Amino acid sequence: MNRSVLMVSMFAILSSASVQVASADNVTKKVNPFVGTSTLWTPEDLGYTRTEDKRPWGAESFPGAALPNAMVQATPVTHYHTGSGYQYEDHQIYGFAHTCKGHWNLLHAPILPVTDEGKWQANNYCSWFSHNNESAHPGYYQVFLERYKINAEITTTLRCAYHRYTFPDVNKKLLVDITHSNAHPREYDVKQSGNNAFEGFQDGEGRIYFYAVTNFDIESVNKVNQFGSIVGMVNFKNSRNSAKPLEVRIGFSFVSIENAKKNLEAELLSSNKSFDQVRADADAIWENVLGHIQIEGGTDKQQTMFYSTLYKAFLFPNLRSDVNGEYRDENNNVVKADFRYYNTPSFWDTYRNKLILLGMITPDVAADIIKSCIDKGEKRGGYMPSFFHGDHASAFVAGSWLRGIRNFDLDRAYKLMLKNATVPGRGGRAWLEEYLKQGWIAEKDTTNVPTWNEYKASVTKTVEYAYDDYATALVAKELKDKNNYKILMEHSQNYKNLFDPSTGFWRGKIANGTWIEDFRPDYPYYAYQYREADAWNSLFFAPHDPQGMVALYPSAKAVEQKLDSLFNTPNGGYEAWNLTGYLGKYCHGNQPGHSIPYAYYFIDKQEKGQEILNKLLNNYYGMGEEGLAYAGMDDAGEMSSWYALNAIGIYTYSPADPQYIVTVPLFNKVTFTLGTTNKPFTIRKEGNGVKIKEVTVGGKALKGWFVQHDALANGNEVVIRTE
């Protein structure tokens, strides 16, 4: 099947990755969108005994319909203000929202079909449901709403949702839950706009506008105020005696209702495609993206988990520009560009792996995300955007450029990155002045800090800034800025300044340069010394200098003992909401420690590292009673990307560098077609052991543990021989 021909009308506006990829099967059938939607409950899974009332974290993923990196994610809401809005253990649905990420935000403009027979009220309208009558597939979601006896189906395009509701023989109604989202909207509206259309907007992390067309004429659109709650209600003419489903095609925009209407016209109305045709288009788009990687071997569970995690890796960042190229910029001005504008990536989470994986398959999307970041940075004080903690756009920019993604302005990006690294100021790196002055960031001198208190996260910032300096230096070298290259490379060694040789940990210092005395290595903090970690899970972070990192210890044996203690000693049992899924003291449920298992490689104990990787791949995904939970929050696809890359045998240990550390794949053979070259490379496993005895690339023995991106881009075969 030629995917390029099948998908050209839709996928051409998504990316240039429309290539023929050999496929023995439809890979979208191997995706389970419910993976990552359930919660961890037991002490064995969490690593501690629960005492708090709030739910611990699962992956916080959503099962609804979406296209890769789209504006619209049409997904069921079972609970507001919790993760993605959907928790598998819930039994009620409040509506179908149209934006989602999985970070307690978004969920714009929920709608829900209702009937008077279901006795809805403005403060009581949710419907119970059963997983026995619920299904999901890439680009499609279905559930039976038991309260109203309605079968609900949703599919999507980039900027639109297509709802199909099959009612019993009653009057059809549509509830627009205009006052609810995860962002507490204060301003909103919904009103009729013609015989069979309604429109409106809702605030909350950006004002979203919508324009909807229905296949039944509308009698009225009212705001119903009951019991302190307000909902919009769309009433239809002569709908009781019709057996045909209610179809709602709804376009969205962050610019205007007019643009929402244009998006709807371009993506759904002009083609007049049926629901099933739009669903088939969505499946074909996902087949193209996921089909870039073909696998042979492994178990059915491993294959399902691989394609499910690969699917989750392509749901974010999200498109924010319309079909006419317009978007709202950092200053809330409506502007127009010749690239697709995306929201800011979750850099702290996804710079490690996901953003590089995205560029390997859809390089045009990666380039447009970088262009979007440049646009934001130039309009927000000249600093490259950051997210949550640290400053990691540098790794994404450097890693993308050095992997051959060149259709963005590197000089403009570098100017912003360099200012982040060298000029203190609002919008730049936090506490940069003291980092530049002394090579490390001080922490407060205090005692008995609770897990949840917010401080500087000084250790994490120091070691991560050092890596960001290295990434920026790589771009300085590309642009022949020798002076700043030298300065940045010197700064990249700052990770050593908070290493305490007396304990073997990276440890906080107070302002006078002495170590923090109240040092509890296995006590988890949200932001005291460490960002969402403890000292154990902050070990061995210097992806740019692994040999220098292990040389801080007196011997390779000392490093081995430290690693063995991390993975084999029970953790302290402390309760921290976002630190879950422990292997010994190692927490796989949060990002800070995700590069630690590879430290074994640099003391000639690769097989020990692989034993850890195998345990994590096989036991820390598909957890919980339903087999749907992750060890922790997916964080915009980082957890998923960690699995997907390690499962095929290569990992972005230093994402800024155009190379990958080799691991033992789960599958006997992997065929990967890169989006930059449209050339497939293969990874083949020989043997079933954990110790790698030889790696060949294009028939030549690999020296060390890193395979270069160029070798893959040239279509070479990588053979990993184990014993």
Please write the tens of the pLDDT for every residue from 141-159.
999 999 999 999 999 999 9
Classify residue 702 by its DSSP letter: P
Q: Quick check: 11 pLDDT over 90?
A: no
pLDDT at residue 24 above 70? Answer: no
Tokens of 321: 């520009």
pLDDT classification of 12: cutoffs 50, 70, 90 = very low
Query: What is residue 241's predicted lDDT score, i.e. its pLDDT?
Result: 77
Torsion angle, alpha carbons of 194, 197, 200, 202, to 10: 170
Are the C-beta atoms of residues 538 and 460 closer than 8 Å to each other?
Answer: yes
659: three-class secondary structure by DSSP: strand
Span 69-124, pLDDT tens digits: 999 999 999 999 888 999 999 999 999 999 999 877 899 999 999 999 999 999 99
Q: What is the pLDDT of residue 25?
A: 66
Q: Where are the beta strands (DSSP E) in 67-115?
A: 73-77, 92-93, 95-97, 111-114
Q: What is the pLDDT of residue 170?
A: 93
Determine the pLDDT at residue 243.
87
User: Could you tell me the two tokens for 586?
Assistant: 């190692």
In this model, does residue 695 exceed pLDDT 70?
yes
Tell me which residue has tokens 């119970």. Answer: 128
pLDDT digits (tens, 9 = 90+) for 46-74: 999 999 888 887 789 999 999 999 999 99
**Percent with pLDDT over 90 in the chain:** 91
pLDDT at residue number 57: 75
Closest CA to 232 of 191, 201, 203: 191
Q: What is the mean pLDDT of residues 226-244?
A: 91
| Segment 176-183 mean pLDDT | 92
Q: What angle, 0 to 180 degrees and rounded to 10, lies between the N-to-C axes of helices 363-378 and 393-402?
A: 140
Give CA–CA dist 449/136, Å, rounded. 44
What is the pLDDT, as a whole number, of residue 717? 98
Range of lowest pLDDT (33-42, 319-328, 571-580): 571-580
H-run or E-run covering 344: none
| Dist CA 638 CA 74 (whole Å) | 21
Total Cβ atoms within 10 A of residue 501: 10
Residue 20 pLDDT more than 80? no
Contact 544, 557 (CB under 8 A): no
Q: Determine the residue type at 205.
A: E
Which three-class secondary structure state does DSSP give residue 695?
Answer: strand
Residue 247: name the closest of 222, 204, 278 by CA: 278
For residue 452, the tally of other CB atoms under 10 A from its CB is: 12
pLDDT per residue as tens digits for the range 468-515: 999 999 999 999 999 999 999 999 999 999 999 999 999 999 999 999
Average pLDDT over residues 9-37: 63
Residue 426 has pLDDT above 80, yes or no: yes
* pLDDT at 365 (0 to 100): 98
* DSSP assignment of 356-370: HHHHHH-HHHHHHHH
| DSSP E strands, 437-591 | 499-500, 505-506, 525-528, 530-533, 582-583, 586-587
